[in-house]
A = this chain, B = another copy of it.
Amino acid sequence: MATNEMDKKDNSKVIRDEIRRGKWKKTTAGLCSDYVQANLVILPKEIATDFMVFCYRNPKPCPIIDITEVGSPVPKLAAPDADLRFDIPRYNIYRDGNLIEETDNIKEYWQDDFVSFLIGCSFTFEKALVNNNIPMRHIEDKKIVPMYITNIPCIPSSFFHGPIVASMRPIFYNKVVRSVQITTNYPSVHGAPIHIGNPELIGIKDIHKPDFGQDVRIEKEEIPVFWACGVTPQAVAMESKPRIMITHTPGHMFITNLKNNSFAIM
């Protein structure tokens, strides 16, 4: 049965299949916009429990959407027909805290003791913001949202420690309060902002030099608003240096079968 271009882009299974066959290698921003997308963290079982503790202690940057069973690449709650080894357009491989490779599948790296974590992604609340007439600069300019390593420490677990990474969106000044209210309604996808205004107060020296993603324009009447970001585990990996940790490449997310609207608490 034929599906047209529109259907394909709005169907999470169809687009995951394209990704699996290597036909979509770009950012997943704007794809399947009704569906929850997720950040990925894969770790060996020996430190996966400690990472669970870390996520529990840091729910704003690391809200867990799904966890796989040991050795299984299948996220049973989020997308039981998916395979996390192939269904993301781009992966980052970290060894001992260093990004050693970017790759479009992780078949060669897979281990039988791997546990995969899916972590909520800001795409969900961005959809809610746009639906409330709060435009997203990086979407309009077809960029990956700028992300910054802040001076705000995560609460450490036994093994994991490091700074919170924050994504930034410039918001017109008279819509800042509304943006707080809307994102408060989505605690499982980072929730309310962690900071409003002056970037220096959270340790960002140059707002136009993000650590991940791409720089965006900030107009005079816009306020930079910062949300905790699911790329935090990658900054944490750099500091904590697990022997191996696999993540998505920022902006290249896992598309789940879950609907964005189901993540609003009210």
Contact = CB atoms under 8 A, between A and B. Distances in A.
Interface of A: 173-174, 176-177, 180-181, 184, 192-198, 201, 221, 223
In the complex, the count of this chain's copies comes to 2
B195 A196 contact: no
Contacts of A193: 177
Contacts of A221: 201
A200 B176 CA distance: 16
B197 A173 contact: yes
A195 B221 CA distance: 12
A195 B176 CA distance: 8
A195 B173 contact: yes
B194 A223 contact: no
Contact of A173 (B173, B180, B184, B201): B201
B196 A176 contact: yes
Given A177-B180, A180-B177, A180-B181, A197 B196 contact: yes
A203 to B, nearest CB: 12
A196 B181 contact: no
Contact of A174 (B177, B181, B184, B195): B195
A195 to B, nearest CB: 7
A196 B180 CA distance: 11
B201 A192 contact: no
A196 B184 contact: no
A193 B181 CA distance: 11
